[in-house]
Structure 1
Amino acid sequence: MQKTRQGIVVSDKAEKTITVRIDVARRHRRYQKVVRTSTTLHAHDEHNDAHVGDTVVVRESRPLSRTKRWRLVQVVERAR
């Protein structure tokens, strides 16, 4: 089963590639404080659909290049 993640596009400068920021908020085990972290990943965008600020869903795939291991599934919300 492939993982899916939802995130925000932070860069679309490369051809057929987007950089997506995944924000995670989870509670600290001991102190119960909400700790926010983010990860960035590169995703394959075949038709250059997504642009900076868009909310997108990406799915894990086979390695497509040195850094790309994800594919764009859909654009959930366009940036205003």
Structure 2
Amino acid sequence: MPKRILTGVVTSDANAQTITVSVERRFKHPLLHKTVRKSKKYRAHDETNQFKVGDQVRIQECAPKSKTKRWEAIAE
């Protein structure tokens, strides 16, 4: 099964080798027919601490690295 890849913005880089990425998705509401924006935060592994707050980053699914980290940042 292929690994999912999401694109988001780094909201925190306070922890060592970890970034928090906010991923936004847009969809049309089934009843109101207006565009709705929803965001979700993911904790991702950043081996070299290269990403800073505000950076656009791609994250990919991986095996669990810790209790909360199931994603890793992809260098572009």
Mapped partners of 1:74, 1:28: distance in 2: 34
Aligned to 1:50: 51
Aligned to 1:69: 70
Aligned to 2:25: 24
Mapped partners of 1:74, 1:5: distance in 2: 13
- For each residue in 1:4-33, what CA deviation from the matched residue of structure 2 results, as whole angstroms up to 9, or x when unmatched? 000000000000000000011110112211
Mapped partners of 1:73, 1:13: distance in 2: 19
If each structure's strand is expressed as a fraction of its own residues, which one has the higher value?
1
Taking structure 2 as the reference length, the TM-score comes to 0.95
Mapped partners of 1:53, 1:31: distance in 2: 32
Deviation for aligned residue 1:74: 2.3
Gaps of 5+ in 1: 76-80
Aligned length: 75
Backbone CA RMSD of aligned residues? 0.8
Q: Percent identity?
A: 39
1:5 aligned partner, one-letter code: L
The aligned runs of 1:28-43 (5 Å cut-off) are: 28-43=29-44
Taking structure 1 as the reference length, the TM-score comes to 0.90
Mapped partners of 2:27, 2:4: distance in 1: 19
Gaps of 5+ in 2: none
Most deviating of 21-30 and 11-20: 21-30
Aligned structure 1 segments of 4 or more residues deviating by more than 4 angstroms: none
